[in-house]
Amino acid sequence: MPVSAQMRRLFGRFYFADRKFLFPGVYYSTKRVLPLPTAHPTSIRIVEFPEQTVVIAKDQPEYQPLPAYRFANDPQGRIVCCWQMALGARLRFLFTGKIWHQVLTFNGPLQPQLLSTEKPEMP
């Protein structure tokens, strides 16, 4: 079977996945067809919260459901979601001060985004 167009053979059984994959990088395969990589183990997980009003991608199995609060009648169309870091991720953040944020734009314009450690006011 042919390798996906998103995969390039490096050498032997090593392939490189381009940015169309969820996690670009090098993959090893004992077969010629590699599956789409799954999400990393939950070092940062989605958290449900009392104010949530919607679950985004609830019926889309290729994505994780995203509980969110959608601000009613907001001209900017704001939504809020909550994530929680596992201990290992907290330590990594403490020492590096970095958070990596991936957004699937499907080649459309990037929407303004804000990461914060403070909970916004939700009615």
CA distance 84 to 90: 9
Whole-structure pTM value: 0.62
Which pLDDT belongs to residue 22?
Answer: 44
What is the DSSP code (8-state) at residue 39?
P
CB-based contacts of 38, cutoff 8 Å, min separation 6: 22
CA distance 15 to 29: 8
Classified as helix, coil or strand, 110 is coil
Which pLDDT belongs to residue 53?
Answer: 95
Mean pLDDT for back-to-back runs of 10 residues, the chain (123 residues): 53 59 49 46 83 90 86 92 90 89 82 90 89
Q: Helices marked H in the chain — which ranges?
A: 87-96
